[in-house]
Chain A
Amino acid sequence: NAGVTQTPKFQVLKTGQSMTLQCAQDMNHEYMSWYRQDPGMGLRLIHYSVGAGITDQGEVPNGYNVSRSTTEDFPLRLLSAAPSQTSVYFCASSYSSGLTDTQYFGPGTRLTVL
């Protein structure tokens, strides 16, 4: 198994540009989520999905869209990038959203918005 994969590893955007961060998992996990990591602030939940066709907002959803058309993929879209979205983005997955389910994190995408 490849686990959780994310592409690209690095990306530089100009303000106003759009892009999609890709996330895929091959563990047949139902629960997937996106976090952003900023210095001194830990990881904050952006959006999450409890299964194909179902998504919901996390703590910091503004400026981001998600969709979950398949169990394997959970892309994160930035429609109009802003410098405040400069961050490291992590995708995670787990078998379910249950209390005892371990979340597995991808390697991250480092995004810079100029």
Chain B
Amino acid sequence: GQQLNQSPQSMFIQEGEDVSMNCTSSSIFNTWLWYKQDPGEGPVLLIALYKAGELTSNGRLTAQFGITRKDSFLNISASIPSDVGIYFCAGRGGAQKLVFGQGTRLTINP
């Protein structure tokens, strides 16, 4: 089946630092999605990308759909304490099913 590799698995940063995480796939996706999960909650959609090369921002978050359609990255600028959580990438290919990455756990030291 389709596989997504998300890195890094965890990050420990200082408040105010920028964050970058990425996902790569062995196969092509038509849609890339980035979710955030808070403890005890379900994932919440942050950014959706639908075209190769697309660069989309949502406040301090920026995500890009790779030109090869096999990768995507998410950047968070000027991190704040409420950014703490687990970030997941997800890809949707021809079967219309979502495939999720393993997640990046973000911890912020004030």
Contact = CB atoms under 8 A, between A and B. Distances in A.
Interface in B15-50: 30-31, 40-45, 48, 50
A92 B41 CA distance: 12
A74 interface: no
Contacts, number: 55
Given A100-B48, A100-B50, A102-B45, A43 B40 contact: no
B63 interface: no
Given A59-B1, A100-B50, A42 B100 contact: yes
Interface footprint category on B? 20 to 34
Contacts of B43: 43, 90, 105
A81 to B, nearest CB: 22
Contact of B92 (A35, A90, A99): A99
Contacts of B102: 40-42
A27 interface: no
Interface in B92-110: 92, 96-103
A58 interface: yes
B98 A103 contact: yes
B42 A99 contact: no
A51 to B, nearest CB: 13
A97 B96 CA distance: 6
A40 B5 CA distance: 11
B68 interface: no
A103 B34 CA distance: 12
Given A100-B50, A103-B45, A43 B88 contact: yes
B9 interface: yes
A10 to B, nearest CB: 10
A42 B40 contact: no
B106 to A, nearest CB: 15
B50 A107 contact: no
B4 interface: yes
Interface of B: 1, 4, 6, 9, 30-31, 40-45, 48, 50, 88, 90, 92, 96-103
